[in-house]
Structures are given as structure tokens and as C-alpha cells.
């Protein structure tokens, strides 16, 4: 979906789903998810993966804040964040591939009224990929910066912090919206009926 065609659904500006895509979330709000009979193993695993992305994102955000505030040295920060960022990005890439190639088409076929929402989620993946590339570029520049030039190192770290923060903001919005579209559909139909259980 072209974000220009539906600017209200662009990842950077949307604040949840419009009414036409809330038809199941209003019937199955988050408060009823836990313990629901149709919240099967696939959905639970998928939600756990989302929680893992949030946890790693929060840890990266906290470490970046410590670097920016001066409570962590550039040297310590440069040693700490690369493996965690790499793990997050590798896992996110694999997760998005499974969603784009398997789950989204299955869910889209199961409920035509939500088809536009799945187009939006696929578009989100492209936006997130672009943000990943910017984050990786800025992270690599920060890691490669000569530690002897404290000013340049600090500036490179700040560029990474901005890019990484923007990525995490996009990811956080996307995960919540994705869950609000998919989990109610699973609760409504059941995993076996949808062919994902």
C-alpha cells in the first residue's frame, strides 16, 4: 500500500486503526486475550516474539540514554550495543519474512474486510526495513569512528541514537497495530480454522 494513498495509515503518523479495521478488536479487546480458548500456541509464541522485540528495544533505548546522558562511556556503549542490535535485526528480518510470506496471506484470505490492514502492515515492513538500513549505517559509522576524536565520536553516537530511536518508535507502533489486527481474528476463528494452528 502506498502511504501517500492513505496518509492516515502511514506508520509515522497513525495512531491505531480506523473504525473499518477495528471490527474485531472492538469485539476482542486486549483485556480478553489472556486465557481466551482460541489463543493457541502459535498466537502465544508470536506474542512472545513481539515481547522479545520490545524487551531488546527497551534495553537498547536505555543503553543509548545512558550514553547520551554521560552515565555510560562511548567505549562501553560501543562494546555493548552491536551484538544486541544485530540480534534484534536478524530476528526481526526472519519474523517479517514469515509474516509476509505465510501469515499475512492466510489472514487476508480469511477476512476480506481486514485486507487493507494487512496491506498496511506489509508497507510497514518496508518502512521499518528502510529505518533498519539507516540505523545500521549510523551504528557502523559510530563503531568505526576513531575513539581519540571525542567530539566526532560523540556526534557519530548521537546520529546512531537518533536513527535507532526512530527505528524503535516505528517498531513499537507496528507491533501494537499488528497485534490488534491479528489476535482478534485468531480469537474469532481459531487457529485450526485459519490453518495456522
pLDDT in tens, 16-26: 999 999 999 99
User: Model-level pTM?
Assistant: 0.93
Task: Give the count of alpha carbons within 13 A of 160, CB side only.
Answer: 29
Per-residue pLDDT band at 4 (split at 50, 70, 90): very low
How far apart are alpha carbons 174 and 70 in whole angstroms?
31
Domain boundaries, the chain: 18-194
CA 173 to chain centre: 7
Cell, residue 77: 556503549
Q: Which of the 8 DSSP states describes residue 146? A: -
Query: 122 CB contacts (<8 Å, ≥6 apart)?
Result: 1, 100, 104
Q: What average pLDDT does the structure give for the chain? A: 94
Q: Give residue 139's pLDDT.
A: 97
Amino acid at each position: 500500500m502506498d502511504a501517500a494513498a492513505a496518509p492516515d495509515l502511514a506508520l509515522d503518523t497513525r495512531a491505531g486503526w480506523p473504525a473499518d479495521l477495528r471490527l474485531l478488536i472492538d469485539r476482542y479487546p486486549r483485556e480478553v486475550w489472556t486465557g481466551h480458548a482460541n489463543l493457541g500456541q502459535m498466537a502465544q509464541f508470536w506474542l512472545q516474539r513481539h515481547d522479545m522485540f520490545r524487551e531488546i528495544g527497551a534495553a537498547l533505548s536505555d543503553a543509548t540514554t545512558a550514553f547520551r546522558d554521560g552515565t555510560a562511556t562511548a567505549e562501553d556503549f560501543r562494546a555493548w550495543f552491536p551484538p544486541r542490535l544485530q540480534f534484534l535485526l536478524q530476528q526481526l528480518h526472519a519474523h517479517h519474512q514469515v509474516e509476509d510470506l505465510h501469515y499475512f496471506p492466510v489472514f487476508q484470505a480469511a477476512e476480506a474486510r481486514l485486507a487493507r490492514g494487512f496491506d498496511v502492515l506489509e508497507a510497514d515492513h518496508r518502512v521499518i526495513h528502510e529505518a533498519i538500513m539507516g540505523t545500521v549505517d549510523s551504528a557502523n559509522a559510530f563503531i568505526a569512528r576513531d575513539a581519540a576524536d571525542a567530539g566526532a565520536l560523540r556526534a557519530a553516537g548521537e546520529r546512531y541514537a537518533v536513527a535507532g530511536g526512530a527505528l524503535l518508535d516505528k517498531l513499537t507502533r507496528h507491533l501494537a497495530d499488528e497485534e490488534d489486527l491479528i489476535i482478534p481474528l485468531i480469537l474469532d476463528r481459531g487457529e485450526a480454522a485459519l490453518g495456522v494452528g
